[in-house]
Amino acid sequence: MEIQIAYYSQLPERRGQAITVDGLEIALFRLTNGEVKAIENKSPHPKGGVLSEGLVSGDFVYCPLYDWKISLQDGIVQAPDKGVVRTFPVLVEEDFVYIRL
């Protein structure tokens, strides 16, 4: 099931935007290549971290608390750190951004 969650034209480039869908907090990112990525808005570090507040570089977001480098493509934390963040498929049609849970 796809749910409309945002307007593409209102997503800032290279900055996260937090949204809540069915009680789940999700971070949306509009990359410089135009793609929109959606991941769970919590770092896998035991103490967490709000990923929508992280620095975006290419296809990665850096946890604002622990500087863990996390792929926006598959949610995998890059070595030497370990972990994974849940990712969600995104569909953009015209100005509408949809997510599939």
Q: What CATH number does the domain located at 2-100 have?
A: 2.102.10.10
For residues 25 and 17, give the distance between their C-alpha atoms in angstroms, rounded to a whole number.
Answer: 10
Split at pLDDT 50, 70, 90, the class of 14 is: confident
| Mean pLDDT over each residue of the chain, to the nearest integer | 94
Split at pLDDT 50, 70, 90, the class of 1 is: confident
Q: What is the pTM of this model?
A: 0.92
Q: What is the pLDDT of residue 101?
A: 84
Order the strands of the 2-7 sheet from edge to edge: 2-7, 96-100, 90-93
**Residue 12 identity (one-letter amino acid):** P
Give pLDDT tens digits for 58-73: 999 999 999 999 999 9
For residues 87 and 68, give the distance between their C-alpha atoms in angstroms, rounded to a whole number.
Answer: 16
For residues 44 and 50, give the distance between their C-alpha atoms in angstroms, rounded to a whole number.
Answer: 10
- Domain residue spans in the chain? 2-100
Split at pLDDT 50, 70, 90, the class of 47 is: confident
Q: CB-based contacts of 73: which residues, under 8 Å, 6+ apart? A: 37, 59, 87
Taking residues 3-12, report their average pLDDT: 94
Q: Name the residue with tokens 């849970």.
A: 101
**Both structure tokens of 92:** 């953009």
Q: Are 2 and 91 in contact (CB under 8 A)?
A: yes
| SS3 label, residue 80 | coil
pLDDT tops 90 at residue 8: yes
